[in-house]
Chain A
Amino acid sequence: MTADAFDAFKQGLAAGGVAFEEVASNGLDPARVLRVNPEHWGQFAFEAKRRELRHAGLWADDGGGATFTIRALFEKQGRYLLAQADVEKGRPSLPSQSVHFPGADRLERHTRDLYGIVFTDHPDPRRWTRHQGWDDDEFPLRKDFPAAGFAHDRTPADHLYKFTAAHGSGVYEIPVGPIHAGVIEPGHFRFLAVGETVLNLEERLGYVHKGIEKIAEGRDADGLARLAARVSGDTTVGHAYAACVAMEKAAALAVPPRAVWLRAVMAERERVANHLGDIGAILNDVAFTFGFYQFSRLREQWQRASQSVFGHRFMMDRIVPGGVAVDIDQSQRQQMSADIHALRREMKTLMAIYDDAPSVEDRLVTTGHLDPTRARELGTLGYVARASGVDIDVRRDAPYPPYDRLAVKVPVYRYGDVAARLRVRAEEIAVSCELLEQLLERLPDGPVRASWRPPAAAEGLAIIEGWRGELMAYVRFDADGRIARYFPRDPSVFNWPALEHLIHDNIVPDFPVCNKSVNGSYSGSDL
């Protein structure tokens, strides 16, 4: 959205009867901020949809006054727009945006469960994040709700949730989870099947909700970075990165160039590690164990290198407010370059073997198909989007340092099946290798951490490309320089609904491989 398009959008809003005003806020850059009349919140979404904006997140905030603030982030062509509306605490309600953007459905239900804000025409009245851990008249993210909650002996199972039911002969239900058969995160899947074919899949998440947004409150910057690093273990770099950038924007703190580049080195390393693991796991799910062992071998080597260079196999807690916690020396730089070289060679050999295995191809091609229109409509992100023809990548479209100095290639496929999601990952490994080479070669000299000064009553927004896709973090500091609000939006939030669609008409036994090809984070969505 160019400046002209933004003006046109504003004119469209006015013509559509939406009352709004533009407000300035430095920490929220690169987003432009519009304050919208809450009654026109749904109409705003309608106009956004009409102009082909993408919904990129929704969250609320309790500033302690008489109102709650709701915010929604939109994007088009790398330009971001943040809409906000204030609703009275006495009767907190406003129209829903998920009518126009189905991907926002769970974020609205999450907001309703945790703030008691009602989205009046929301199509789904069922709770989402709340199971039986607190009562329906308790709202944990309101400031008057204590972080410890209220006394509970034991939390019962949530067996009264109403799943979509089907009638008719031959239709049966398969409940799966929350504890799954493998070593993976917990969640519930409810299948409706006829014979082996999946008619419908409904996801029920929220099992690993552990109060991240609430316990962020009152922390200092270091404490928030540690918490962010544990939002989703596989994205420890990504979430810490976003949280730190958001805090630094709020504090108007300049991070030393070397630290900025080292952060990107870690982010690319995290992408490679996860993609290697995922490709191996996808191949394992179709019984191509050779592939599983080879890719998990590469992943292990990569993690060991992270341990030797950054002191942690996942580089957890290495991104800190003001910079990074570790520096690298010349020999480590050379070692990493040698590793990249070796990985490239290995990838070439292994992908040639993969291309040569028709039995694997037979299992992955056309399996779990997500068509480009649906991918766009749901606002999917990362490799899920890019395998279904949606050409987006924050590193290229809204480049933040150091990516503003690098050329990022974005692999895109249109087939939308498991094979395409695997292929995108493989090519992204190659792109990351190229980026890593450049990052290491052009790594600036100098310090790696600026000293942190807590800002008073300030806010910051960060949007980066995590390994799963666009990842955002919003941070607000109170007058004492403590965290008053932290909201991390993992890309999984927009990718989980895609799984419900792409599994249609596949056979039940192909669910694991379809699920793996999306690999949504439970922890990162449940918070």
Chain B
Amino acid sequence: MLRILGKIQRIGVITEAAPTDLEPALTQIGARVKARVGELFAGSLAIRQVDAGSCNGCELEIQALANPYYGVERFGVHFVASPRHADMLLVTGPVSRHMEEALRRAYDCTPNPKLVLAVGECGATGGEFGVNYASCGAVANVIPVDGVVRGCPPTPLDLLRGILEAIDGAGVKPR
């Protein structure tokens, strides 16, 4: 017990100041996300992530948003288990044909108004896989998309920026 308390005290809070110059924009973008989420989503943006065929690289970076460096919950962004609770779908992958119907259903289950963000080169364009007998390619080939986050995979910061742009540009009406 003492060890654990000691460790917690020594490490301290690492979220606020991203310690390297790799992410100088994190806190600025985060502050803007927080402000917009406050205005448009009553302080809480619920995201349902759907892997529709990705290589899992994109998922790892989306997961990283929860590590203490990014800690996106502090900006009002959180991930939910059901599309019925979601304001936004974050969809990765070239959409595999075997995930096509599941993706459509998740989309239909998400209440309006909703935002769809296609993530990664694959989500944006089909990437290295494109369209083939087993792949529908870009997310936009299957459901309507409001924005894309490029990158293979996009970094956590790219993702946060993409989320901001999507809620900024989509003209979602405040409720």
A411, CB-defined interface residue at 8 Å? no
8 Å CB contacts to B: which residues of A271-303?
277, 290, 293-294, 296-297, 299-300, 303
Give the interface size class of chain B. Answer: 35 or more
8 Å CB contacts to B: which residues of A138-195?
140, 145-150, 152, 154-158, 178-179, 181-186
B101 lies within 8 A of A316 (CB): no
B134 lies within 8 A of A183 (CB): no
A521 lies within 8 A of B56 (CB): yes
B38, CB-defined interface residue at 8 Å? no
Question: Which residues on the B side are within 8 Å of A211 (C-beta)?
Answer: 129, 132-135
Complex alpha-carbon distance, A236 and B51, angstroms:
18
Of all chain B residues, the one with the shortest Cβ separation from A291 is B4
A233 lies within 8 A of B69 (CB): no
A522, CB-defined interface residue at 8 Å? yes
Given contacts A210-B132, A230-B57, contact A307 B98 (CB under 8 A): no
B55 lies within 8 A of A206 (CB): no
A208, CB-defined interface residue at 8 Å? yes
Question: Which residues on the A side are within 8 Å of B134 (C-beta)?
Answer: 133-134, 140, 149, 209-211, 214
A353 lies within 8 A of B4 (CB): yes
8 Å CB contacts to A: which residues of B32-81?
49-64, 66-69, 79, 81
Complex alpha-carbon distance, A377 and B164, angstroms:
51
Out of B58, B63, B64, B102, name the residue touching A207 (CB < 8 Å). Answer: B102
A154 lies within 8 A of B56 (CB): no
B130 lies within 8 A of A297 (CB): no
Residues of chain A whose beta carbon lies under 8 Å from any beta carbon of chain B = 131-134, 140, 145-150, 152, 154-158, 178-179, 181-186, 206-212, 214-215, 226-227, 230-234, 236, 277, 290, 293-294, 296-297, 299-300, 303-304, 307-308, 313-314, 316, 349-350, 352-353, 356-357, 521-523, 526
Residues of chain B whose beta carbon lies under 8 Å from any beta carbon of chain A = 1, 3-4, 7-8, 11, 14, 20, 22, 49-64, 66-69, 79, 81, 93-94, 96-102, 104-106, 127-136, 152-153, 155
Sample (11) of A-B pairs whose CB atoms are under 8 Å apart: A148-B131, A148-B132, A150-B133, A157-B101, A157-B102, A158-B98, A183-B63, A230-B55, A296-B68, A313-B61, A314-B153
